[in-house]
Amino acid sequence: MIARVVVVPKPVVNDPQGVTVRQGLNALGFHEVADVRVGKYIEVRLDGDSAGEARRRVDEMCRQLLANQVIEDYRFELEDRRG
């Protein structure tokens, strides 16, 4: 199984990288760009058959290490790669 984890700065946390990328896109003529948030994408390959158990474990991984919940939100999806 593969977990695809996305970690992004919380909406209330200033994201200097996102602001700079937005300004760059605006300067390139993409005037419709109103906001950019720069985060992280993490792939985790897991052993095991139970999607429910994997979901619970990945959520725990996010809480304990992959995201810092003081400043970041996370979400993930699971892909069953068996067969």
Partner 1 sequence: MRFGVVVFPGTWSDRDCGHVVEDVLDADLVYLWHKDRDLQGADCVILPGGFSYGDYLRAGAIARFSPVMDSVAAHAARGGLVWGICNGFQVLCEAGLLPGALIRNDCLEFRCEWTHLRCERDRTPFTVRLAPGQVVRVPIAHGEGNYVADPATLDALEQRGQVVFRYCDAAGDVTAAANPNGSQRNIAGIVSEQGNVLGMMPHPERCAEAELGGTDGLLLFRSVLEAAAAATP
Q: Which residues bind partner 1 (CB under 8 A)?
A: 9, 12-14, 16-17, 20, 40, 65-66, 68, 70-71
Task: Give the SS3 label for residue 78.
Answer: strand
Record the tokens describing residue 16, joined without a space.
């200097």
Q: Which is nearer to partner 1, 14 or 29 (CB)?
A: 14
Nearer Cβ to partner 1, position 61 or 78? 61
Would you say 34 or 70 has its CB closer to partner 1? Answer: 70
Per DSSP, 26 falls in state H
46 CB contacts (<8 Å, ≥6 apart)? 1, 2, 3, 54, 57, 58
Tell the smallest beta-carbon distance from residue 72 to partner 1 (Å).
8
At its nearest, how many Å lie between partner 1 and the CB of residue 41?
12
User: Closest distance between partner 1 and the C-beta of residue 83, in Å?
Assistant: 32
Q: Are 56 and 11 in contact (CB under 8 A)?
A: no
